[in-house]
Structure 1
Amino acid sequence: MTTTDPAGHAGGPPPGCPAHASAPSEQAARAAMPATAVEPTALYSAAFAADPAAVYAELRRQGSAGFVELSPGVPASLVIGYEAALAVLRDPESFPRDPRRWQQTMPPDCPVLPMMQHRRSAVFNDGDVHTRLRVAVSDSLDRIDPTTLRQYVERSADTLIDDFADRGRADLLAEYARLLPILVFNQLLDCPPQLSASLVRCLAAIFEGGAEAAEANGELGRCMLELITLRQREPGNDLLSWLIAHPTRLDTQELMDQLTMLLAGGIEPVQNLIANALRLLLSDARFAGDLSGGSLPVDDALVEILWTDPPLANFGPAYPTRNVSLPDGTVLPAGRPVVVSYAAANLDPSLASDRGTGNRAHLAWSAGPHACPGQSQARIIASLAIEKVLDRLPDVELALAEDELRWRPGPFQRALTALPVRFPPVAVPEDPGGPLPPSPLTPTDGGTGGRRATTAGVPSDGPAPTAERQAAPADGRPSRPRWMAALTRWWRGQ
């Protein structure tokens, strides 16, 4: 049982809750450790944002985990070794995810609290509670038809590229990568455009862990509640409606927190994955000969970025209740959050010979029982988004030198501030407008006369798509609704 704040966010446990008893303090954790002169390394600094690999290399002097600060006054142990990261991620008994004892020691306006506070989602729970919540999320994600998802991505990508293709220049982060996941999730959730934009702005502030994070967290809760209330009143054939109808019967707070998890994992990291992979493709000479030759190395670039610059660099917070020794003898003290650096673990020098092309043993999607349940959908969105840019803007190139690109500060994400490019202007076909696309995301049975497939015993009662509704315009590009262009103009303040 948890209490909630007025915005509906899970807060501390009520008096007498066993999870609240005997919360170890950071002072006690330090007292239990050998005397050391090591000061924490700030993961919120400009130096870390500019060159995290150098910071990780310095932290390795401390062993397979280093002493860091996530924001001023918020210490943590950052796991930076690959084998150590696997040991933490695969051992929820020693590294439980419930942060409630720790968060009682944090002020309510702590900048990283919105990313780390307890929510009734699969991320912050273990055991049977985690299993129940994760089943609801995984079953709902599994109902997304990959073909329809691809149509959503292509339609959204064309809408965005049309806005700048005839200009000959663009910021592929602000005008494309940042907006595309919004448009896709807008369709997956059947979310009102203005509400989806508010949700994304809140999530961006929370990921950065800055001064606006606490206020954004409250606004996020209000937006979530509005969307859930709307969908409970008007259920449809969309991702949120499937969550609501799932046999686990999630309550409103659980729905809010699962939705927060889905959006947090499906928008901010995916936009950064798209931008980071485009940066690699446009700046690395290894790919230069392939971009205009018809053999687009998008998969290779994505795998490399997931190894070297994963969009969610540091997360998977755990809260050990006792001192735990890692395989190399590094001690993680009780009372101090443990954060896994997927980026640093991927860069572990012991793996130097194992990171070849096609090796997907990276930790960008985490590992163990809390591994990302939506990685398949994320790969589809990112790969198609990149292919669209290279297909429609075949001579695109960076508008400045790679070392002039800047990175957003923050302890969790690996995110550019901008990705300016230039290219020969491309004529834009007239917007076909057209009817709203079919919303059913579940594939048809194929042999049952149009009956819908089911997952986890939940029938899909949406209408089967018809040939007329699926028809593409004469130029072969997917039809897209006019609200997409309106949303992008509204987002840009036009």
Structure 2
Amino acid sequence: MTVHHSEPPPGSHLSSSRCPYGAASSATLPAYPLPIYGPEFSANPRATYAQLRTLGPIAPCEIAPGVHGYITTTYRSALYLLRNTPTLFAKDPAHWQALRNGQVPADSPARMMMQPSPNALWLDGDAHARLRGAITDSLAWIDTHALATAVARIANRLLDRVTALEHADLVSDFADPLPMQVLIEMFGCPPDLGRTIVLAIAQLFDTTQDAARVNAELEAACLALIRLKRHQPATDVTSWLVAHPARLSDAEMVQQILLVIGAGTTPSTNLIANSLLLLITDERFNGDVHTGVRPIADALDHALWEDPPISNYCPLYPRDHHTYEGVLLRPGAPILVSFAAANSDPALDQGSHRRSGNRAHLAFSAGIRACPAPDLARVIAEIAVEHVLDRLPDLTLACPQSDLVRRPGTFHSGWTSLPVSLPLTTTTAPHSYGGPR
């Protein structure tokens, strides 16, 4: 990707006469902020992160057409923002000046992913603590052994279908439906509502251009689930949220469900697919994992370092004018935390061979905004990957790796498909795995 000096990037709404960050800093900025969306970015996001890093530890970017902000480019800057939230940096999008001024298009994908809502992700202070507490308390009720059993059952059911196919796609046939079906069970969600919710969340993460309609469908489906559980509670996450002492309103319930399901589905799909691709194509892992020399957990950690399923998110807003490592940050503009740029920061001086089993990555964020249930995410991904390896040994890609296409989107990192050639013989049931792989 190159910086355009004479013409704005396609889709940019900037005029050639001004910089969106103010005249005082324009001398140190490129003529147009680098876009972190579109086919060129999706095809090679690391090239964009490397170019952004040359502009500073926090660099200007175009988040979506006509939507501007900043993005962290180093591990240090990402941790700095996350560890100084909410003292120096707020999460509430009410601080977003362009949104307050009506300058963010109603159908912008960035607006759908970053706009205010009564949601633990977007609030600060006591409001954040109350809603996050309801989420973490409810998730703590999940029996991880029962979850593991459910994931194994769902994985085997999906793999039974895969083994009957002449050509298989490990994204559409396995990694996509598995988290959806797991979350449907966790939330006690009827299948029709579950499919509506997860499909809509996937479309939002893919930065659909029809985001307003999708968001409306999503909220309606969640509200129907809440009303069902208020009248017919059961042993599921939705019912535990309904019964929590925080006494969440219907509107708050909708947003907490969206947050947890959104964090548990598309990102889990990406983690499963990214890990499977690593195990299929990287000889450092495929042999050692199959022979038990290296556990699957190490391969997951490597994938979380190299290709985190949520690449850029957690927008934060400076509470006041603030200078970080020579970069002046002004109130009003969002700063995205780039987990992908942090993990690939050359300043870490850590070879990829040292990342297996190393959990210092930022794939699950950090600080008070860290993922509330990373262990549950790992259970789902690890068991899913384990069952693929057990049922489908000696998998190979059915196309050159260079032909694989990344999913579109600013906010996450995954693959549109993972076509594989099945081995001549496949197992009809999982192997016994009493010990760690």
Task: Mark yes or no: TM-score above 0.5.
Answer: yes
CA distance in 1, matches of 2:387, 2:349: 32
Counterpart of 2:71 (choices 69, 78, 83) is: 78
Once the two structures are TM-superposed, the CA of residue 34 in structure 1 deviates from its matched residue by: 4.5
Where in structure 2 are there 5+ consecutive unaligned residues? Answer: 1-17
Question: C-alpha distance in 1, partners of 2:272/2:164?
Answer: 22
Aligned to 2:406: 407
Structure 1 residue 233, shift from structure 2 partner: 1.2
Aligned to 1:35: 27
Shift of 1:123: 0.6
For residues 309-388 of structure 1, the aligned pairs below 5 Å read 309-326=307-324, 328-353=325-350, 356=354, 357-388=356-387
Q: Which amino acid aligns with 1:122?
A: A
Give me the whole-angstrom Cα distance separating, in 2, the residues matched to 1:84 and 1:293.
39
Q: Distance in 2 between matches of 1:395 and 1:133?
A: 45
Q: 1:293, CA displacement in angstroms?
A: 2.6
Runs of 4+ in 1 over 4 A off after TM superposition: 26-29, 425-430
1:195 to 189, 193, 196: 193
1:67 — aligned with what? 60
Asked whether the 8 Å contact 1:166–1:428 carries over to 2, the reply is: no
CA distance in 2, matches of 1:37, 1:117: 26
2:245 is matched with which residue?
247
Q: Relative to 1, partners in 2 of residues 1:349 and 1:427: Cα closer, same or farther, differing over 3 Å?
A: closer
One-letter amino acid of the structure 2 residue matched with residue 94 of structure 1: L
Please give the secondary structure, in 2, of the residue aligned with 1:227.
helix
Residue deviations 1:104-123, cap 9 Å, x none? 23232222111101111111
2:105 maps to which of 100, 107, 132: 107
Partner of 2:176: 178
Q: Tell me the SS of whatever aligns to 1:35.
A: helix
What is the aligned-residue identity percentage?
A: 42
Give, as a single letter, the amino acid of the residue that structure 2 aligns with 1:379. Answer: R
Q: 2:305 aligns with which of 304, 307, 317?
A: 307
Paired residue type of 2:264: G
Calculate the aligned-residue CA RMSD, in Å: 2.1
Q: Choose 1 or 2 for highest CA Rg.
A: 1
Deviation at 1:297, TM superposition (A): 3.6
Once residues 428 and 281 of structure 1 are traced to their aligned partners in structure 2, the CA distance between those partners, rounded to angstroms, is 18
Counterpart CA distance in 1 for 2:404 and 2:105 is 35
Instruction: Give a deviation string over 1:11-62, Cα, whole Å, max 9, x none.
Output: xxxxxxxxxxxxxxx9784245353451111111211111111111111111
2:124 corresponds to: 126
Shift of 1:259: 0.4
Within 1, Cα distance between the matches of 2:292 and 2:74? 38
Structure 1 position 324, deviation (Å): 1.8
Deviation readout 1:434-463 (Å, 9 max, x if unpaired): xxxxxxxxxxxxxxxxxxxxxxxxxxxxxx
Query: Could you tell me how far 1:296 is from its partner in structure 2?
Result: 5.7
Between 161-170 and 376-385, the greater mean CA deviation after superposition: 161-170
- Retained in 2: the 8 A contact 1:291–1:390? no
CA contact (8 A) 1:287 1:297 kept: no
Which residue of 87, 96, 99 maps to 1:93?
A: 87
Deviations 1:268-313 (A, max 9, x none): 1001000001011101121232354344641111101111110000
Of 352-361 and 85-94, deviating more is 352-361
Aligned pair count reads 408
Return 5+ residue gaps in structure 1 as ranges: 1-25, 431-472, 478-494
- State the SS of the aligned residue for 2:273: helix
Looking at structure 2, the residues matched to 399 and 234 of structure 1 have their Cα atoms a distance apart, in angstroms, of 47
Note if 1:49 corresponds to 2:42: yes
Which residue identity does 2:171 align to in structure 1?
Answer: L
Amino acid at match of 1:190: G
- 1:165, 1:425 within 8 Å by CA — same for their partners in 2? no
Q: For residues 45-94 of structure 1, what are the alpha-carbon distances to aligned partners after superposition, in whole Å with 9 as ceiling and x for unaligned?
A: 21111111111111111110111111100011001111111110111222
Q: What is the distance in 1 between the residues matched to 2:303 and 2:411?
A: 16
Q: 1:272 to 1:323 in 2, by over 3 A?
A: same
Q: Cα deviation per residue 1:438-491 (whole Å; 9 max; x = unaligned)?
A: xxxxxxxxxxxxxxxxxxxxxxxxxxxxxxxxxxx9x999xxxxxxxxxxxxxx
1:165 aligns with 2:163: yes
Q: 2: distance between equivalents of 1:167 and 1:34?
A: 56
Verify: 1:146 aligned to 2:144, yes or no: yes
Separation in 1 of the partners of 2:418 and 2:369?
Answer: 32
Alpha-carbon contact 1:79-1:85 (below 8 Å) kept: yes
Q: Within 1, Cα distance between the matches of 2:392 and 2:140?
A: 33
CA shift, 1:138, in A, is 0.5
